[in-house]
Chain A
Amino acid sequence: MWKWLHPYANPEVTYHFTGKILPWFVALTVITLSTGLVWALLFAPADYQQGDSFRIFYIHVPAASLSMGIYVGMAVAAFCSLIWQLKLADASAAAMAPVGAVFTAIALLTGSAWGKPMWGTWWIWDARLTSELILLFLYLGVIALHNAFEDKNLAGRAASILTLVGVINIPIIKYSVEWWNTLHQGSTVSKLGKPSMTIDMLWPFIFCFLGFALLVTTIICIRFRTEILARNSIRPWVRNLVILENK
């Protein structure tokens, strides 16, 4: 497997490889996401308790779980970049941070818009909401650190350290927030019984989830290619590439 993976440590190979698969990802994203959203908005049945506001669920849940998934991905990339000094892992971590921040913001916004009709307020200090907000702060810190350094490689290493410190802290923060919540909040949150997902709700959800995951992959792919170019701008292969494209 290592032999197979090895060539992809070369920025040039990876750049061309991602360039080749990118159109496929774009096509798949458009197909699955449009299918999922149309299905979710038009054909999925309304929840018997929450009515049509349940349709927010089809964005909110994928965004929330992807926001956490992207952080884990970023932490894995940070780990690889610190241990094996892989420049490409740095580049991919830098590509993931803004995407993760946007998805965290989407999860918070849609959660808030769903909470208003269901709970009666835009915001409650619920454990999940609070830890999602803190996740957004962690993302913003990583992005700010990336922007603070002039040298991209230094920035990548500094951000990698911060990401790993953050990933150790995330379980602690999550646990402490949950604990804090049960202590201070009591039972003001009338947790609606978990909506039993019927098949005709599950399928649009699967499509939406896949669609958003593919969208994340596509955007990360584009940003990843930008980062590769930025980090290799004086290499001959990048020069040739730019000359070829300008002709």
Chain B
Amino acid sequence: MQFDSISDFFNMGGYAFFVWLAYGATAVMLALLVISSNSSFKKMKQQIAQRQKRETKLRQAAQLQRTLELEHDQQEQQAEKNNSKEVLS
């Protein structure tokens, strides 16, 4: 141990401001870099998941519409058949 007391340690032999400025600035910048790297990784995953959700929703909607249209067509065909039967009779 190079320092006798905690206050001695923080004083850094008179160079406190410069040493702690250097260490502090480094710590802040590295922390920001790590946090932003991590959050952008998570954000990327969220984005992909969201896009997938949207796509599946769209696909489901398209499918629903298609089935509805199909039913509608069938109903129409049924109605036409009924009409023609009525005409025949």
Contact = CB atoms under 8 A, between A and B. Distances in A.
A129 B18 CA distance: 18
Contacts of B1: 42-43
B33 A98 contact: yes
How big is chain B's contact interface, by range? Answer: 20 to 34
A52 B14 contact: yes
Interface of B: 1-3, 9, 12-15, 18-19, 21-23, 25-26, 29-30, 33-34, 37-38, 40-41, 44-45, 47-49, 51-52
Given A230-B44, A242-B52, A52 B19 contact: yes
Given A52-B15, A243-B52, A113 B21 contact: yes
Ranked nearest first, the 9 interchain pairs of A and B with the lowest CB-CB distance are A52-B13, A53-B15, A113-B22, A110-B22, A52-B12, A56-B22, A226-B41, A51-B13, A222-B37
A53 B40 contact: no
Interface residues of A, number: 40
A242 B12 contact: no
Majority secondary structure of chain B interface residues (helix, strand, loop or mixed): helix
Given A242-B45, A243-B52, A102 B30 contact: yes
Majority secondary structure of chain A interface residues (helix, strand, loop or mixed): helix
A106 B15 contact: no
Interface in A66-119: 98-99, 102, 105-106, 109-110, 113-114, 116-117
Interface in A230-246: 230, 233, 238-239, 242-243, 245-246
